[in-house]
């Protein structure tokens, strides 16, 4: 079905940081078997910058397959439980490999099964999303025991490790000397800056890509025109997903394919009503521009 929302969801924009991240992970995947010690890399960025989507794309290039001699899981991708323990992490890894009874067994038993299955399913890369859960924001405690366990796991299974998450991931890595020593420089997923010409172009390029897809099905305003792009930028704090929300939002609000009817001004006013939430996410440097744009937009009723 080509509803506006599903078209937006299906659209993948290969902007430069996205491509670079996919390419680097792909390189480590290829290199994993030859490396003398496990390759570890962190994919780090603020929320909604596309980290999980990067993992998605890489995982799809090397999907799990069932062969005659059993499952083949070249990339084992899991999400860190919200309060990670060795048992909990082992459980999600076992689930990821399709093991029956993933919830059974002591810590040691589960660990043994994880290692056995990773070797037997040909796992070459382990991806752990939401890695910042290894750092408890409330107590400021780092889950050292699980981090140590992970280090031993990748050492023994010789697979590459990709962890993804918010910038607090780096605290977890840095706090464990042995883990830190195994990590390459992080791959950064940035929030786009309007002041930086190159990043502004990237952001506008994303809007253009959405326009290209949507305009084949709907009469679509030119999101990529600089004045409009700037408003999108202000309403999103430079995050592509919020751009998606802004594009889709008029439809949700009106319960119809209303993009046809939605004027630019209405889209802007609706986007502006979301600003309070977005504002909390905007980096300090964005705030000034953001305030000005907001008052400009609201005063002129645009």
Ligand X SMILES: Nc1ncnc2c1ncn2[C@@H]1O[C@H](COP(=O)(O)OP(=O)(O)OP(=O)(O)O)[C@@H](O)[C@H]1O
> What's 218's DSSP letter?
S
Interface region with Mg ion, contact rule CB under 5 A, candidates 50-58, 77-85, 148-156, 278-286: 50-58
Integer Cα distance of 243 and 220 in angstroms: 14
Cα distance from N-terminal residue to C-terminal residue, the chain:
32
Q: How far is the CB of 236 from Mg ion (least distance, A)?
A: 17
Q: Residue 301: left if φ>0, alpha if ψ -120 to 50, beta else—which one?
A: left
Under DSSP, is residue 183 helix (H, G, I), strand (E, B) or coil? Answer: strand
Nearest to 231 by CA among 199, 265, 198: 265
Total residues at the site for ligand X (CB under 6 A)?
16
State the binding string over 100-129 for Mg ion (x if CB under 5 A, else -).
------------------------------
Q: Is residue 241 a contact residue for ligand X (CB under 6 A)?
A: yes
CB nearer to Mg ion: give 225 or 241: 241
CB nearer to Mg ion: give 52 or 85: 52
Q: Which helix or strand (DSSP H or E) is residue 196 part of? A: none
Q: How far is the CB of 14 from ligand X (least distance, A)?
A: 6
Among 2, 3, 12, 180, binds ligand X (CB under 6 A): 12
Among 5, 26, 52, 71, binds ligand X (CB under 6 A): 52
CB nearer to ligand X: give 82 or 300: 82
* Dihedrals phi, psi of 31, to nearest 5 degrees: -85, -15
Q: How far is the CB of 288 from Mg ion (least distance, A)?
A: 29
Q: Is residue 171 a contact residue for Mg ion (CB under 5 A)?
A: no
Among 28, 51, 211, 272, binds ligand X (CB under 6 A): 51
Cβ pair 102, 114 in contact under 8 A? no
Nearest to 123 by CA among 160, 167, 70: 160
Integer Cα distance of 71 and 233 in angstroms: 45
> Which residues lie near Mg ion (CB under 5 A)?
52
Residues at the contact surface with ligand X, assessed by CB under 6 A: 11-13, 15, 18, 45, 47-53, 166, 240-241
């Amino acid at each position: 079905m080509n509803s506006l929302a599903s078209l937006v969801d299906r659209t993948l924009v290969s902007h430069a940081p996205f491509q670079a991240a996919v390419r680097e992970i792909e390189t480590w995947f290829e290199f994993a078997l030859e490396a003398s010690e496990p390759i570890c890399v962190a994919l780090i960025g603020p929320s909604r910058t596309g980290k999980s989507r990067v993992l998605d794309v890489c995982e799809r290039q090397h999907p799990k397959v069932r062969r005659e001699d059993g499952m083949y899981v070249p990339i084992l991708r899991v999400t860190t439980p919200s309060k990670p323990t060795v048992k909990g992490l082992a459980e999600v890894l076992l689930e990821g490999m399709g093991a029956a009874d993933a919830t059974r067994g002591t810590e040691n038993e589960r660990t043994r099964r994880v290692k056995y299955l990773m070797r037997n399913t040909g796992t070459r890369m382990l991806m752990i999303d939401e890695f910042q859960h290894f750092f408890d924001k409330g107590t400021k405690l780092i889950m050292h025991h699980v981090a140590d366990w992970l280090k031993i796991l990748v050492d023994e299974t010789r697979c590459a490790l990709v962890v993804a998450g918010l910038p607090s991931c780096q605290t977890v890595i840095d706090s464990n000397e042995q883990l830190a020593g195994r990590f390459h420089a992080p791959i950064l997923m940035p929030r786009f800056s309007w002041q930086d010409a190159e990043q502004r172009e990237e952001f506008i390029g994303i809007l253009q890509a959405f326009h290209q897809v949507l305009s084949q099905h709907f009469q679509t305003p030119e999101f990529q025109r600089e004045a409009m792009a700037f408003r999108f930028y202000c309403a999103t704090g430079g995050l592509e997903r919020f751009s998606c929300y802004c594009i889709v939002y008029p439809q949700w609000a009106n319960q119809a394919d209303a993009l046809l009817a939605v004027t630019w001004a209405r889209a802007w006013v609706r986007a502006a009503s979301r600003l309070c939430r977005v504002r909390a996410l905007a980096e300090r440097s964005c705030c000034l521009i953001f305030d000005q744009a907001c008052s400009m937009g609201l005063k002129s009723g645009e």
